[in-house]
Amino acid sequence: MADLIAKSPCAGLLPVTHGTTSLSEVEMTTLTSVAPYKGQETGLSDALKAAHGMALPDINRATGKEGARAVWFGQGQVMLIGPSPASSLADHAAVTDQSDAWALVRLEGEAAEDVLARLVPVDLRRAQFKRGHTVRSQLQHMMVSITRTGDNAFLIMAFRSMAKTLVHDLETAMRGVAARGSA
């Protein structure tokens, strides 16, 4: 019997570099949506700390670090990125596997802010949007989650089915920014 083979959302599309900016796919990992039930925020945060070593992030914030992050993902929702969710979380929250629902890319380079300024209607300059800050917004026409993971690095998440458009739109902006930089 032929084996079922896993395919990443951006397979065959990435990595690419234009000018000083690079775009690469984040290796497939476990993504878990965690949405606390009524009045369970504190219990969930404690469970999250005990099991995964990070607190429930505030609105527009991410906790944890590379490999194990908790990213605020909308009203009453946090995306756990990396660890397999501890069963204790389900006592406090709706826990939903989202590992295959999102395309995760990393945009990096000195001009990464300029690239995003062409696509995202939110102020993502470092002074306002620091490491550990996150937003739910739109990138061109797509709903996305954007988290600053480094001085010049962003984690961008979009629907898996839109991976090709995500890469297309980012590359278009990257090319324009690169061309200006060299003009």
Partner 1 sequence: MRVNGKGLVDRSAPLSFTFDGKSVEAYAGDTVASALLAAEIKMIARSFKYHRPRGVIGAGSEDPGALITVGSGAVQDPNVRATVQEVYAGLETRSQNCWPSLNVDLLSLNDLAAPFLGAGFYYKTFMWPKAFWEKLYEPVIRRSAGIGALSGKHNPDTYEKAFAFCDLLVIGAGPAGLMAALTAGRAGAEVILCDEDSVMGGRLNGETYEIGGQSGQDWAARAVAELSAMDNVRLMTRTTVTGAYDQGTYGALERVGHHLGGLGDTPLECFWRIVAKRSILAAGAIERPVAFRNNDRPGIMTASAVRTYLNRYGVAPGKKVTIFANNDDAHRTARDLVAAGVHVAGVIDTRQDAPDGEGYEVYKGAEVCNSEGRKALEAVTFRYPDGREDKLQTDCLAMSGGWNPSVHMTCHMNGRPTWNEDILSFVPTDGTVPGMVTAGACNGAFSTHAALAQGAAGAEAALGDLGIKMTKADLPEAEDAPYRLKPLWAVAGKGRAWLDFQNDVTVKDVKLAAAENFRSVEHMKRYTTQGMAPDQGKNSNVAALAVLADATGRGIPETGTTTFRPPYVPVSIAALGAGAQGDGFAPQRFTTSHKASVDAGAPMIEAGLWYRPSYFPAPGERTWRQSCDREVNMVRNAVGICDVSTLGKIDLQGPDVGEFLDFVYTNMFSTLKVGKTRYGLMLREDGTVMDDGTTARLGENHFVMTTTTAAAGPVMRHLEYVHQCLRPDLDVSMISVTEQWAQFAVAGPKSRELLNGLLDVEIDDASWPFMACGEVTLQGIKGRLFRISFSGEHAYEVAVPSRYGDSLFRLLVARAEAMGGGAYGMEALNVLRIEKGHITHAEIHGRTNAFDIGFARMVSAKKDCIGKTMSERPGLVGEERAQLVGLKPVGVVQQITAGAHLFNADDDPVRENEQGYTTSVGFSPTLESYLGLAFLRNGRARHGEEIKMVDHLRGITTRCVVCDPVFFDPEGGRVRG
Partner 2 sequence: MRITCPLCGERDRREFYYVGDAVALERPDPDAGDVVWDDYVHNRDNPAGVTRDLWYHESGCAAWVVITRNTVTHEILSTELASKVKEAQS
Report if residue 16 touches partner 1, rule: CB under 8 A.
no
CA distance 156 to 142: 11
Question: Which residues within the stretch 69-108 sit at the binding site for partner 1 (CB under 8 A)?
Answer: 76-77, 93-102
Structure tokens at 98: 């989202």
Q: Which range of residues in 3-11, 23-31, 85-93, 130-138 is near partner 2 by CB under 8 A?
A: 130-138
Q: Which is nearer to partner 1, 53 or 156 (CB)?
A: 156
**Would you state the structure tokens that stand for residue 25, as one six-digit string?**
């796919």
59 binds partner 2 (CB under 8 A): yes
137 Cβ partners below 8 Å, 6+ apart?
Answer: 120, 121, 122, 143, 144, 146
- Binding string, residues 31-50; x marks residues near partner 1 by CB under 8 A: --x-x-xx------------
CA 163 to chain centre: 13
Q: Is 161 exposed, middle or buried (0-12, 13-18, 19+ CB in 10 A)?
A: exposed
Residue 178 binds which entry of partner 1, partner 2, none, with Cβ cut-offs from 5 to 8 Å by kind? partner 1
Decide if 15 contacts 27 (C-beta within 8 A). no
Mark 134-163 with x for binding to partner 1 (rule: CB under 8 A) and - for no binding: ------xxx----------------xxxxx
Task: Please report, as ranges, the residues that interact with partner 2 according to CB under 8 A.
Answer: 59-60, 74-75, 121-122, 135-138, 143
